Amino acid sequence: MSQHIFFLNGPNANLYGMDKSGTYGRESFATIGERCQQRAQSHGIGLQFRQSNHEGVLVDWIQEARQQADGVIINAAGLTYSSVPILDALLMFDGPIIEVHMSNIWQRESFRHHSMVSKAATGVVAGLGVQGYELAIDALVALIRTDNR
Ligand code: DHK
């Protein structure tokens, strides 16, 4: 069976590249998705790159990943700091999980310093922008292929 990754993005990620501050880089969400597709392709692994503004949809996708994905990358965005349902869904996923953030969340407001998601994450990549997304794909593929969680 071929291998697949789910890369799930939370609220407002669809607006990356459009905010005046440049906190989330200058590339559009579509371009970021294309870069991630190319990176996954270079590893010969399938990628579902998805975004939702809705917590329940993200939970449904994490549950879907139980059957459809070998690993999950998640940027839960603003839900990172509050979502017990997302944490619980991730804890029920058996494969490796990487939490990513475009920005360095520990350099920002204190309410961004505690992630609910990290408890379920194998590792965390933050502050490296879209390059961090590509590195997260590299790392997740390595974890999947060495059977590590
Ligand atoms: C994205 C968001 O939308 C924020 O709510 C998080 C995260 C940080 C990021 O850096 O990718 O606080």
pLDDT digits (tens, 9 = 90+) for 60-103: 999 999 999 999 999 999 999 999 999 999 999 999 999 999 99
Write b or e for each residue in 9-44: b if 16 or more Cβ atoms lie within 10 A of its Cβ, otherwise e.
Answer: bbbebeebbeeeeeebbebebeebbebbbebbeebe
The CATH classification number of 10-70+84-146 equals 3.40.50.9100
pLDDT value at residue 22: 83
Ligand 1 contact via 101 beta carbon (within 6 Å) = yes
Q: Compute CA distances 43 → 3, 11, 85, 118, whole Å.
A: 10, 28, 31, 25
pLDDT value at residue 147: 80
- Which atom of ligand 1 is nearest to 127's Cα? 10
Q: Confirm whether 101 is a catalytic residue.
A: yes
pLDDT value at residue 20: 81
pLDDT value at residue 149: 65
Is residue 23 scored above 80 in pLDDT? yes
Which residue in 4, 16, 43, 101 is the catalytic one? 101
Q: What is the DSSP letter of 111?
A: G
- Which atom of ligand 1 is nearest to 126's Cα? 10
Q: Where are the domains of the chain?
A: 10-70+84-146
Which residue in 24, 43, 54, 113 is the catalytic one? 24
pLDDT value at residue 108: 96
Query: What distance in Å separates the CA atoms of residue 51 and residue 141, rounded to the nearest whole number?
Result: 21
Q: pLDDT tens digit string along 123-146?
A: 999 999 999 999 999 999 999 999
Mean pLDDT of the chain: 96
Global pTM? 0.96
Alpha helices, H only, 20-54? 29-42
Enter the tokens of residue 133: 């997304």
pLDDT band at 29 (very low <50, low <70, confident <90, very high): very high
